[in-house]
Amino acid sequence: MAVEPPYSHDAGPAAVSPTALRIVSGHIELHHRIESTEPERSEDDEDFWILGMADEDVPSIYKLPKPYAVYTIECEHIKNVELQRRLSDEDTSHEVSPEFQTAYAMNNAPVVYVGYTKNPYRRIDEHLDPFTTGSKFTNIFRPVDVHNIDWYDTEDEAKEAELATADRLHRKQGYFLNPSVHPAYRGD
């Protein structure tokens, strides 16, 4: 029996955690239930390996319904003291502008990361893994749950949907968002 390399994001395009596989596959199943269609198993199943898991325990891996995904991740809400400590621990101060910090200190609204990707299995896994830099924002505000994944045919559609989702979450629900999708928090 061949020994697989230790789990690492550098081990190749297929090193993805079981949690990320379950989350993305669950959202694909939900999409297909809503559309009254059946998800197709990915032909790349053999490319995903999970250290320490028997083949029968590896979650279903489906083909993406469309090439691009826009995802929303709920992040932890931390106290201001902890926010300042995390900002001083890493070179992340430019990720959380003074405008964001002031608004955050005065409000208890949820913190959300909105992004788009062509490989949601991999990208969401990067956000969830505390040992990688999924994004500087999710290193500061660690992910708690993946709320939503929507699917798009083109990169342009996904980019537009990412910004529209961020705008809707901020305007209608008052969420705090990653600066990459909310210009008021960039401090430009």
Which residues, other chains included, contact 76 with Cβ-Cβ below 8 Å and sequence gap of 6+?
Answer: 111, 141, 142, 143, 144
Do 162 and 92 share a domain, yes or no? yes
Do 165 and 90 share a domain, yes or no? yes
Q: Count Cα neighbours of 99 within 13 Å in the Cβ-side half-sphere.
A: 13
Query: Which pTM does this prediction carry?
Result: 0.82
| Inside any domain, residue 79 | yes
Range of the domain at 47: 13-57
Tell me, what's the pLDDT at 132? 72
Do 81 and 19 share a domain, yes or no? no
Please determine, for residue 42, whether its predicted confidence score (pLDDT) is greater than 90. Answer: no
| Inside any domain, residue 8 | no
107 band by pLDDT with thresholds 50, 70 and 90: confident
| Inside any domain, residue 102 | yes
Q: What is the mean pLDDT of residues 18-26?
A: 89
| Inside any domain, residue 151 | yes
Do 21 and 74 share a domain, yes or no? no
| Inside any domain, residue 4 | no
- Tens digit of each residue's pLDDT (9 = 90 or more) over 65-92: 999 999 999 999 888 888 888 888 766 6
Tell me, what's the pLDDT at 173? 78
12 band by pLDDT with thresholds 50, 70 and 90: very low
Averaged pLDDT of the chain: 80
| Cβ-count burial 149-177 (b if 16+ within 10 Å, e if not) | bbbbeeeebbeebbbebbeebbeeeebbb
- 17-26, 41-50, 55-64, 152-161: lowest mean pLDDT where? 41-50
10 band by pLDDT with thresholds 50, 70 and 90: very low
Do 73 and 52 share a domain, yes or no? no
| Inside any domain, residue 52 | yes
- What's the structural domain count of the chain? 2
Among the three residues 5, 28, 57, which one is the final residue of a domain in this structure? 57
- Tens digit of each residue's pLDDT (9 = 90 or more) over 121-155: 889 998 998 777 678 888 888 999 999 999 999 99
| Inside any domain, residue 146 | yes
Do 149 and 103 share a domain, yes or no? yes
Do 48 and 115 share a domain, yes or no? no
11 band by pLDDT with thresholds 50, 70 and 90: very low
| Inside any domain, residue 7 | no
**Strand partners for 73:** 113, 146
Do 161 and 91 share a domain, yes or no? yes
Do 139 and 167 share a domain, yes or no? yes
Do 144 and 163 share a domain, yes or no? yes
Do 91 and 175 share a domain, yes or no? yes
Longest dimension (CA), the chain: 57
Please determine, for residue 186, whether its predicted confidence score (pLDDT) is greater than 50. Answer: no
Phi, psi of 119 (to 5 degrees): -130, 80
Per-residue DSSP letter, 154: S
Reduced to 3 states (helix: H, G, I; strand: E, B; else coil), residue 143 is strand
104 band by pLDDT with thresholds 50, 70 and 90: confident
Do 80 and 124 share a domain, yes or no? yes
> Cα 114 to chain center, whole Å?
7
